[in-house]
Structure 1
Amino acid sequence: MGESRTELIQWVNDLLQINYTKIEQCGSGAAYCQIIDSIYGDIPMSRVKMNARLEYEYLVNYKILQTSFKQHKIDKPIPVEKLTKCKMQDNLEFMQWIKRFWDQNYGGHEYDPVARRKGIPMENPATLAPIGGGGGGGGGSARAPSAAGMARGKTPVGGARVAQSEQVANLTAQMREMSAHLEGLEKERDFYFAKLRDIEILVQQQMEVLEGQGKDDETLRDIQKILYSTEEGFEVPDNGALVDEEETF
């Protein structure tokens, strides 16, 4: 039997000087990366997304963790798909394994977790239920007393007010979650747009080089067509000139 959730959270918080409250918050991957760093001291902590909120940020952390496992010949499979869903049982089992591995391999040396992550505070990752799921449950809970009261022909004094207050609180929480999701989606959009822009620049630069040599490359032209076909009516600039930075696809 491994340690309990409470014991593991206390250990993680003490080791990393953070303030997690749930084991499923480790699903972002940041804590796993730094626990392994406390053993070997060679995780590139500057690349770890300490306050990851989006799926692609979680995946960045797990890619770093997988690379470390490979470098140190740790043959434990990392169930990335399960862990990133931030479910309690999956993260509990993996953290129990991590703790056993740490006990066996930590050399007892001093470790400064805050310095290793350059003083970046680790905020508690959100472990949100899918949007809509919480609202249905909250609405059901709020309506249940009224239905029961009607069945008995009675209306509990103050019950409606309490139910309304709970419903308002649930809706307010959902609005905050949706706002956080929207902000995250905008960041994710910008992240992938920046990648497309980098590809566009590389393609254009290579085509300019080939044109200077009197050569051509059909693959590059096909890539360029794909990039520019995403906006109706967009025409490839003459002479392969770079698109203005303010222009979007």
Structure 2
Amino acid sequence: MAGSRTDLLAWLNDLLQINYTKIEQCGSGGAYCQILDSIYGDVPMSRVKMNAKHDYEFLANYKIMQNIFKTKKIDRPIPVERLSKCKMQDNLEFLQWMKKFWDSNYGGHVYDAVARRKGVPLEPPATVAPLSTRSGTGLSAGSGGRAGGRTPVGGFRSGSAQPNEAVQQLQAQVRDLSGHLEGLEKERDFYFEKLRNIEILVQTQLEVLEGESKDDVTLREIQKILYSTEDGFEVPENAAVDEEETF
């Protein structure tokens, strides 16, 4: 049975002695690396960026993770591009697989997660895609024109009244977009809570039936729908690694 979001977070926080509040925070890759370290004990945790905020730090964590998969001959593709976008569904699916893998391979030994991180204090990662350190414009001081001689965004030069108006318009657009985003997040949380309540009811009833050596096909189908993913998302366990998702 696939683990629920709440159960997975409780397990993750207890195992790694962290304080994640959302599945999306696993997208930095640090927690995945330390789950593997709890099993094998030889992940180079000094190189794992548990407080990763930049894209190159995220990718460095996944590179370490891929090396462990290769060394330990773990036949499972790592969807780096999707996971590093910190989307809940992608990371939920992968964390469910990680929990199942941990259950099958953890030796029951005592694992001191804080000591393995050498006591480095942790801040829960953000739940948005990492900050990029790459230049998006491709412009530099020597790419044409002298410094300070460029026309500001909006097409007006400093000293005129128009730039202030342009900035105010942009700020108003940002406020509108922020309000719209907040509304979408509330709507998302509203429907997610409904689904979560259904999930709890179904899971509780199935546990009761299992205790009585019974089953309910309808409840199983409802649970299957709750845990289903988009077509083409799941990858067969013996499938080859997607070249586009590796370094």
TM-score by length of 2: 0.54
> Which consecutive residues of structure 2, in runs of 5 or more, have no partner in the other structure?
132-170, 184-247
Q: Which amino acid aligns with 1:125?
A: P
- Return closer, same or farther for 1:44/1:140 CA change in 2, 3 Å cut-off: closer
Q: Which amino acid aligns with 2:71?
A: Q
| Greater CA drift, 54-63 or 122-131 | 122-131
Equivalence for 1:139: 179
Matches within 5 A, 1:1-249: 1-128=1-128, 135-140=175-180
How far does residue 111 in structure 1 lie from its aligned partner after superposition? 0.4
Equivalence for 2:192: none
> CA–CA distance in 2 between the matches of 1:88 and 1:96?
12
How far does residue 141 in structure 1 lie from its aligned partner after superposition? 8.0
- Return closer, same or farther for 1:50/1:108 CA change in 2, 3 Å cut-off: same
- Return closer, same or farther for 1:142/1:57 CA change in 2, 3 Å cut-off: closer
> CA–CA distance in 2 between the matches of 1:97 and 1:141?
31
How far does residue 70 in structure 1 lie from its aligned partner after superposition? 0.5
Q: Which amino acid aligns with 1:83?
A: L
> CA–CA distance in 2 between the matches of 1:33 and 1:109?
18
> CA–CA distance in 1 between the matches of 2:100 and 2:38?
14
- Deviation per residue, 1:4-58 (Å, 9 max, x gap): 1111011000000000000010000000000000000000000001100011000
> CA–CA distance in 1 between the matches of 2:39 and 2:181?
47
TM-score by length of 1: 0.54
Moved over 2 A (4+): 128-143
- Deviation per residue, 1:138-187 (Å, 9 max, x gap): 334899xxxxxxxxxxxxxxxxxxxxxxxxxxxxxxxxxxxxxxxxxxxx
Q: Which amino acid aligns with 2:125?
A: P
SS of 1:128 mapped into structure 2: coil
- Return closer, same or farther for 1:86/1:74 CA change in 2, 3 Å cut-off: same
Q: Which amino acid aligns with 2:44?
A: P
| Greater CA drift, 124-133 or 22-31 | 124-133
How far does residue 123 in structure 1 lie from its aligned partner after superposition? 1.0
> CA–CA distance in 1 between the matches of 2:181 and 2:115?
46
How far does residue 125 in structure 1 lie from its aligned partner after superposition? 0.5
- Return closer, same or farther for 1:37/1:137 CA change in 2, 3 Å cut-off: same
> CA–CA distance in 1 between the matches of 2:93 and 2:37?
20
> CA–CA distance in 2 between the matches of 1:142 and 1:107?
44
> Which consecutive residues of structure 1, in runs of 5 or more, have no partner in the other structure?
144-249
> CA–CA distance in 2 between the matches of 1:142 and 1:69?
39
SS of 1:56 mapped into structure 2: helix
Larger radius of gyration: 1
Query: Which is richer in helix?
Result: 1
> CA–CA distance in 2 between the matches of 1:111 and 1:69?
20
SS of 1:73 mapped into structure 2: coil
Identity fraction in percent: 69
- Deviation per residue, 1:52-110 (Å, 9 max, x gap): 00110000000000000000000100000000000000000000000000000000001
SS of 1:31 mapped into structure 2: helix
How far does residue 135 in structure 1 lie from its aligned partner after superposition? 4.5
Q: Which amino acid aligns with 1:14?
A: D
How far does residue 127 in structure 1 lie from its aligned partner after superposition? 1.4
Q: Which has the higher contact order (CA 8 A, sep 6+)?
A: 2
Number of aligned residues: 143
